[in-house]
Amino acid sequence: MKLMTYRLGALLLTLLALPAPLSVAAAHAAPVAVPPPHDAAQISTFLIDFYGHHGPSEYDRDNRVSQVLKDKQKGIADADVLLCAQNEPQDIAIGPVTVAEAAGIGWATVTTHWDSRTTDTFTAYVRLDSQPIRLDDVICAG
């Protein structure tokens, strides 16, 4: 009887030491691919498309903007936080994009042109890991 108890105990310890079997689903699951961060060219293309010549469309405002900016707009009724303005500009130009990989963000200066031949600038920020790519924040110059 003592020998049988010893064998059962040894068998139990051996089984506990083995790795747990994977489930069938886990064994056949494809590895999850993490998309690479956005680069300067992608951010530039996004900002040019997003701002266009006169400002973002309603679709872009609803779908391509962070919640931070949506909340910021709710708090400011008399100005457009995406354009740092109260009116629609005559034209918009996007400057070169800077990417700070360590900070996980890219940005560009956006210049708005107005009827009175004046310009204004602000900085538009995009998170490098946003999926899909979207405008994360805007800091007005003045």
Q: Which pLDDT does position 84 carry in this prediction?
A: 95
Q: What are the tens digits of pLDDT across the range 65-75?
A: 999 999 999 98
* Best CA proximity match to 83, nearest among 104, 106, 53, 62: 53
Among 89, 120, 95, which Cα is nearest to 43's?
95
User: What pLDDT does residue 116 have?
Assistant: 81
Full set of structural domains in the chain with CATH: 40-140 (3.10.450)
Rounded to whole angstroms, the Cα distance separating 108 from 51 reads 12
Ranges of residues in the chain whose predicted pLDDT is under 70? 1-30, 142
Q: Whole-model pTM?
A: 0.76
Which runs of E-coded beta strand occur in 32-104?
Answer: 91-100
Instruction: List strand residue ranges (DSSP E) for 2-90, in order.
Output: none
What pLDDT is attached to residue 3? Answer: 47
